[in-house]
Amino acid sequence: MSTPPPPPPPPDALPKDSPASSRTIAWVGPFAVFMVWLALDRYIPLSYPAKEVVRDVVLIAAIFGFSRHVLPARAPHWPASIALGLAVCALWIAPDALFPAWRSHWLFQNGITGHLKTSIPPAELTPIMLVLRTARAALLVAVIEELFWRGWLVRWLQDSRFERVPLGQYTPLAFWATTLLFAAEHGPYWEVGLLTGMIYNWWMWRTKSLGDLILVHGVTNFALSLYVIAGAHWTYWM
C-alpha cells in the first residue's frame, strides 16, 4: 500500500526553507514600519494631504513587500465577523455616549495612559483627509495590527518558533498578555481596548481564521470612523 501524500502547508505559512527572520518579518514588518512612522510623523517635512498619501503608500508597500505570502485569501465566517465588528464599535462608543464625563476620569487620562488629543490639526479636517483616514483605519491598520497581534505575537509567546503554532491556538499566558498589551496601545481608551482585545482573541480562537480577524477589526474601525466624522468626535483618532 502506498504512503498517502503529506497534507498541504497551511495557507498562512511561508516556505519552510525560508530563513526564520524572513518568516518573522512577514508578520512583524508592517507593524514595525507603522510604529516608526508614528514616532517620526512630526518630523516628516510634508504637508497635508501629501503626508497622508505618502503614509498610505508606505504602509501598502510594507504590507505587500513583507507580508504578501501570509495574507489570508478569505474570511469564511464573514457574516458573523461583520456583526461582531459592529458590536465592538458599539462597545467603544457606549461609555462616552452614556456617561459624558466618563473619559475625563483620572483612570483614563493620567501620566501613564496619556491624555485625549487628536492627531489631526483642525485645519486639516478636509474631505480628502477624512476619506484617507477612514480607508487607512479600515483597510490598512486592520491588516497590520492583526498580522502582528493575532498572527504573530500570540503564537510567538507560546513558542519562539512561532510558525509551529497553529493560528488560533491559545494558552492563558498568550491570551492575556496580548490582551493587556493591546489595551495599553490604546492609551486613554484602555478599558475598551482591553475588552476589544479579549473579544478579538476569543474570535481568533473560535474561527482559527486570520481573514475573519482582519474583517472584524476592519468593520470596527470603519464603523467607528463614520461615528467620529458624523459627530466630530475627533479624540477617537488619537
* Per-residue model confidence as pLDDT tens digits over 64-105: 999 999 999 999 999 999 999 999 999 999 999 999 999 999
Q: Which of 111, 107, 74, 87 is nearest to 198 (CA)?
A: 87
Q: What is the pLDDT of residue 23?
A: 86
pTM listed for this prediction: 0.89
Per-residue confidence band for 188, with pLDDT thresholds at 50, 70 and 90: very high
69 residue type, one letter? H
Mean of pLDDT values over 23-36: 96
Grid cell digits, residue 144:
497590520
The pLDDT, as a whole number, for residue 22 is 61
| 3-state DSSP assignment of residue 17 | coil
Cα gap 147→24, rounded to integer Å: 10
The confidence score (pLDDT) of residue 167 equals 96
State mean pLDDT over 196-211: 98
Q: Where are the domains of the chain?
A: 20-236
The DSSP secondary-structure symbol of 158 reads T
How far apart CA 4 and CA 7 sit, in angstroms, is: 9
pLDDT of residue 7: 42
Cα dihedral sign, 147-151-153-159: negative
170 closest CA partner among 145, 146, 205: 205
Segment 171-175 shows an average pLDDT of 96
Instruction: Find out whether 130 and 122 touch, Cβ atoms under 8 Å.
Output: no
Predicted local confidence at residue 117, as pLDDT:
82
Picking from 141, 149, 100, 143, the residue whose alpha carbon sits closest to that of residue 224 is 141
Per-residue confidence (pLDDT) for residue 5, from 0 to 100? 47
